Amino acid sequence: MAIIKTKIDEMCIHLEQHSNGLTFSELASYLKIDEDAIQNFAEMLESIGAVSIDYSPLSGNKVSLKQKKWMKIQQKTSGKVIDEYILNVKGITADVEIKKPEDSIVHHYILTITDIGPYTQTYLEAVRDKISRIVVVSPEDLMNSAKTESVYSKFQEASKPFFETLNISKEKIDILTGSLLIKMYGLGELEFLLVDNDLEEVCVNGAGNPVGVYHKRFGWCKTNIIIATEEEVFEYSAQVARRSGRDITLLSPIMDAHLETGDRVAATLFPITSSGNTITIRKFARKPWTITDFIDPSINTLDVETAAFLWAAVQYELNILVAGGSASGKTSMLNTLVSLIPANQRIVSIEDTREINLPHYSTWNWIPMTTRASNVENKGEVTMIDLMQSSLRLRPERMIVGEVRRPLEAHAMFEAMQTGHSVYSTMHAQSAEQVLRRLSSEPFNIPSVELQSLHIITVQYRDRKTGRRRTSETSEVLSTKSETLPLNKVYLWHPRSDKFEKLSESIRVFEELNLYTGMTPKEISADLKDKIVVLDWMLKKGVKDVDSVGAVVNAYYTSPEKAIKLIKSKAPAQKVLSLLKE
C-alpha cells in the first residue's frame, strides 16, 4: 500500500543529512517552497520537540533535527492467504489478509493501513496538540452521538489551515484528517477492528503484545497490531471511559463500559493485571439479530417450533430466563426475544453496561437504565438494586434485567415477577437444572414459592470446537408445593445430529395461557401453528432485518386473521410487507 509523504518528510529527511542544521532559506530553496511555509512547519515540529530553531542573527534561523522518526515496518508473516477484504474508517482504507501459518494453529490477521510518512506523522502530533486547544470537547459531547458529529465537523474545520499548507491533494488531506480524528477521539488502529463485522472480540493484552481478535470463521487470530507503550493502552481505556461516562484510574483500575455502537469494553490497569494494562472489547452485531436469523438453517440457533413457542411466551407476558456459558449467545437471544414485545407496552431495561438494543418501533416507550460506580470519594454509586426498586415505580409492563449475578439482584428480580411484571434476564448456567440449583442454593437462596414465578428457562450452548451456537434446551418450571421444583423439558437439541427434538407437550405454558387469557388447549395449539406459518414465511421470503420482522410481528398482533390471510396468499413478499405495514 502506498505511503503518503509530504514536504514535511522531505524537509526532515534532508535535515538528517545535515547534522549542523539548515536555514529557512536553504530549506526553502531545496524544497522549492517559500520561507513562510518552512517557518510554519519548523515551528509546529519545534512545539513537540522534534526540531530546534536557532533565531540568533548569526545562525540565520537555522533548523536542526532533534528527534528521528522512522517509518513503522509492517510485520511480515508467512503462510497461505485464506481470506482477504478491505475496511474503511473515516476515509482511510485498510487491507485485511487472514493467513494460515504452516507452523502454527493460530491464524494471523494482517492489517495493512494506508501509511503516512514518519515525519508527517510527527507533524500530525503537533497539529493534534494545537487542535485540542481550539476544539474543546467535554465527555458529554462524546457520549451524545448527535453532538459527536458536531465535534467532528468543528475538528475538520479547525484542521484545514494546517493541512492546506502541505500542498497535497484533497484525497490525501482527507486521509490525514481521518488519521488524526481516530487518534484524538477514537482508538487508533483498533478502530479498523471495530468496523470489521467478522470479528466478535478484540483484545489488547498489554503493550508490546500482538492484539488478539476472535474471528467468526477462524476463531482466535493474532494480529500484526502492537501497541507500543502502556501509556497508550491506558489512553485508549481513558478515551472509552470519557465516551461512556465511566472512570478508570489507579484508584479504580477495573472498568466495565460500552461504546456508542453497543460494544462492551472491559479494561484493567497494572498491577491488577500483572502483564500490563488490558482492553477487551466484545462486539455486538451491527445488524441486530432477529428470530428469522436464528431459525435460518445456515445459522440454525433454534428450530421454528421452538421459536414459535418462545414467541408465544413473550406475547403473553410469561417470564423467561436465558442461561448459558460465556459467549454462548445469551444476550443475542435475549435481544431477539425482547424485540417480539408488542410495541404498545412500556419497557424498562436494567443493566450494568448497555447491551440491550430494541428495534426503533419499541424505543418510544422504553426506559434504558444503567448502574453507576461510586466516585473517588466512594459516593454516587447506583446499583442494580437501586434501579430495580426505582423501575417498579415507572409502571412497566415488561422488565429486562441484563444479567443476574448477585443475590440481591435475583431477589429483586423475583419480587418484580411476583408483583405481576413480565421479566426477562440472563444468567450463567449450563442447564435448566443448574439454574434452579444455583438460585435455590447459597448465596442466592430464592425460596421455591418465588422460583415458581419463573415460567421458562432456555439454555444457549457454544460448541468449543466449531464455535457454533445452539439453543440446547427449552424447559418449563412447573408449579408444585414441594421444595424441589420439577422441570418439563419441552425442546432439546442433539449435538451429534445437530437436530432439534420436541420431547414433551407443554404443561405450564398451556396452564398459564388458559388461566390468564381463557384460551383452550386447542386455541393455544392453533396460535402456535399460526406463529410457525409466519416464521416459515419470513424465512422463505428472506424477511430478516429487524424493522421488517417487527412490521410483520406487530401486524400479526394487530390483526392475526388478516396477517395470516395475506401471508398465505400468493402475493409477492414486498406487496405483503407493504400491506402488513398499513
Backbone angles phi, psi at 70, to 5 degrees: -100, 150
pLDDT, tens digit, 9 for 90 and up, residues 435-444: 999 999 999 9
Report CA torsion sign: 430, 432, 438, 444: positive
The answer to whether the CB of 233 falls within 8 A of the CB of 278 is yes
Burial 264-284 (b: 16+ CB within 10 A, else e): bbbbbbbeeeeebbbbebbbb
Q: How far is CA 43 from CA 67, 121, 252, in A?
A: 14, 15, 39
Q: Indicate the residue type of 246.
A: R
| Gap between the Cα atoms of 295 and 299, Å rounded | 7
pLDDT computed for residue 73 by the predictor:
39
| Gap between the Cα atoms of 300 and 302, Å rounded | 5
More confident residue, 230 or 116: 230
pLDDT computed for residue 240 by the predictor:
87
More confident residue, 241 or 506: 506
- Report whether pLDDT(409) > 70: yes
Q: How confident is the model at residue 74 (pLDDT cuts 50, 70, 90)?
A: very low
pLDDT computed for residue 67 by the predictor:
61
Place of cell 540568533: 56
| Gap between the Cα atoms of 202 and 294, Å rounded | 24
pLDDT computed for residue 141 by the predictor:
59
- Report whether pLDDT(456) > 70: yes
Please tell me the least confidently modeled range out of 172-176, 201-205, 278-282, 301-305: 172-176
| Gap between the Cα atoms of 92 and 195, Å rounded | 12
What are 258's strand-pairing partners? Answer: 264
Helix (H) or strand (E) holding 128: helix 118-134
Section 402-421 average pLDDT = 85
Non-local CB neighbours of 120 within 8 Å, separated by 6+ positions: 4, 5, 6, 8, 9, 166, 176
What DSSP state is assigned to residue 96? E
Section 575-581 average pLDDT = 79
Residue ranges with strand state E in 262-376: 264-268, 278-282, 320-324, 347-351, 366-370
Backbone angles phi, psi at 116, to 5 degrees: -120, 135
Helix (H) or strand (E) holding 154: helix 145-164
pLDDT computed for residue 69 by the predictor:
45
pLDDT computed for residue 68 by the predictor:
54
Non-local CB neighbours of 430 within 8 Å, separated by 6+ positions: 323, 324, 325, 459, 461
Cis before residue 443, ω within 30 degrees of 0?
Answer: yes
What are 112's strand-pairing partners? Answer: 95
| Gap between the Cα atoms of 384 and 382, Å rounded | 7
Please give the domain boundaries of the chain with CATH numbers for all domains: 3-65 (1.10.10.10), 83-282 (3.30.450.380), 291-512 (3.40.50.300)
Please tell me the least confidently modeled range out of 309-313, 365-369, 432-436: 365-369
- Report whether pLDDT(526) > 80: yes
User: How large is the C-alpha radius of gyration of the chain?
Assistant: 29
Three-state secondary structure readout of 457-517: EEEEEECCCCCCEEEEEEEEECCCCCCCCCEEEEEEEECCCCEEEECCCCCHHHHHHHHHH
- Report whether pLDDT(72) > 60: no
Section 167-188 average pLDDT = 84
Q: How confident is the model at residue 551 (pLDDT cuts 50, 70, 90)?
A: confident
| Gap between the Cα atoms of 227 and 279, Å rounded | 11
| Gap between the Cα atoms of 318 and 335, Å rounded | 16
The answer to whether the CB of 318 falls within 8 A of the CB of 276 is no
Q: How confident is the model at residue 47 (pLDDT cuts 50, 70, 90)?
A: confident
Please tell me the least confidently modeled range out of 112-116, 211-215, 542-546: 112-116
pLDDT, tens digit, 9 for 90 and up, residues 567-577: 988 788 788 88
Section 81-98 average pLDDT = 89
| Gap between the Cα atoms of 318 and 399, Å rounded | 11
pLDDT computed for residue 403 by the predictor:
85
Claim: this prediction has a pTM higher than 0.85: no
More confident residue, 96 or 168: 96
Section 335-340 average pLDDT = 92
- Report whether pLDDT(558) > 50: yes
What are 470's strand-pairing partners? Answer: 461
Nine-digit cell at 387? 434501579
pLDDT computed for residue 71 by the predictor:
37
72: nearest Cα among 105, 100, 40, 113: 113
More confident residue, 312 or 326: 312
DSSP codes of every residue in 63-81: EEE----PPPPPPP--SEE
Nine-digit cell at 127? 497539529
Section 114-130 average pLDDT = 85
| Gap between the Cα atoms of 230 and 389, Å rounded | 41
Q: Assign 433 to helix, strand or coil.
A: helix
Please give the mean pLDDT across all residues of the chain.
86
502: nearest Cα among 513, 494, 510, 514: 494
